[in-house]
Amino acid sequence: MSTQDDLSQFLMSRRAKLDLEQTGLPDFGGRRRVPGLRREEVALLAGMSVEYYKRLERGNAKGVSEAVVDGVSRALQLDDAEHAHLNELIRSANTGTRPYRRRPARSLRTNPVLQQTLDAMSTVPVFVQNGRLDAVAANRLGKALFPEMFSDSPQPVNAARFVFLDPKAQLFYPDWESNARQIVALLRVEAGRSPYDRKLSDLVGELSTRSDFFRKLWGAHDVREHRTGVKSIHHPIVGDLDLNYIGLELATDKSLHMLVFSAQPGSPSHDGLQLLANWANTHTVEPATVSPSASDIDTRK
| Model confidence pLDDT, tens digit, residues 28-53 | 777 787 789 999 999 999 999 999 99
Summarize the confidence of residues 54-69 as an average pLDDT: 93
pLDDT the model gives residue 286: 64
Is 3-93's fold the same as 108-296's?
no
Chain center to CA of 255: 13
Of 74-88, 154-168, 286-300, which gets the smallest average pLDDT? 286-300
* Beta strands across the sheet bearing 228-235: 135-138, 126-130, 256-262, 239-249, 228-235
Backbone angles phi, psi at 32, to 5 degrees: -110, 125
pLDDT digits (tens, 9 = 90+) for 251-286: 888 889 999 999 999 999 999 999 999 999 988 776
Distance CA 284, CA 289 (A): 15
Summarize the confidence of residues 166-186 as an average pLDDT: 96
Assess if CATH 3.65.10.10 describes domain 108-296: no
Evaluate if residue 211 carries a pLDDT over 70. Answer: yes
Distance CA 273, CA 238 (A): 8
Q: What percent of the chain shows pLDDT beyond 90?
A: 71
Q: CB of 169 within 8 A of CB of 182?
A: no
Q: State the first-to-last Cα distance of the chain, in angstroms, to the nearest integer.
A: 24
pLDDT digits (tens, 9 = 90+) for 98-120: 444 455 444 434 578 889 999 99
> What residue spans define the domains of the chain?
3-93, 108-296
pLDDT the model gives residue 167: 94
Closest CA to 133 of 178, 176, 191: 191
Exposure b/e, 170-192, CB count within 10 A at least 16 = b: bebbeebeebbbbbbbbbbbbbb
Taking the model in full, what pTM does it have?
0.86
pLDDT the model gives residue 109: 45
Angle at 119 between CA 292 and CA 277, to 5 degrees: 70
Residue 216's CB is within 10 A of a number of other CB atoms, namely 12
The fourth-level CATH superfamily of domain 3-93 is: lambda repressor-like DNA-binding domains (1.10.260.40)
pLDDT the model gives residue 291: 36
Q: Band the pLDDT of 295: cuts 50, 70, 90.
A: very low
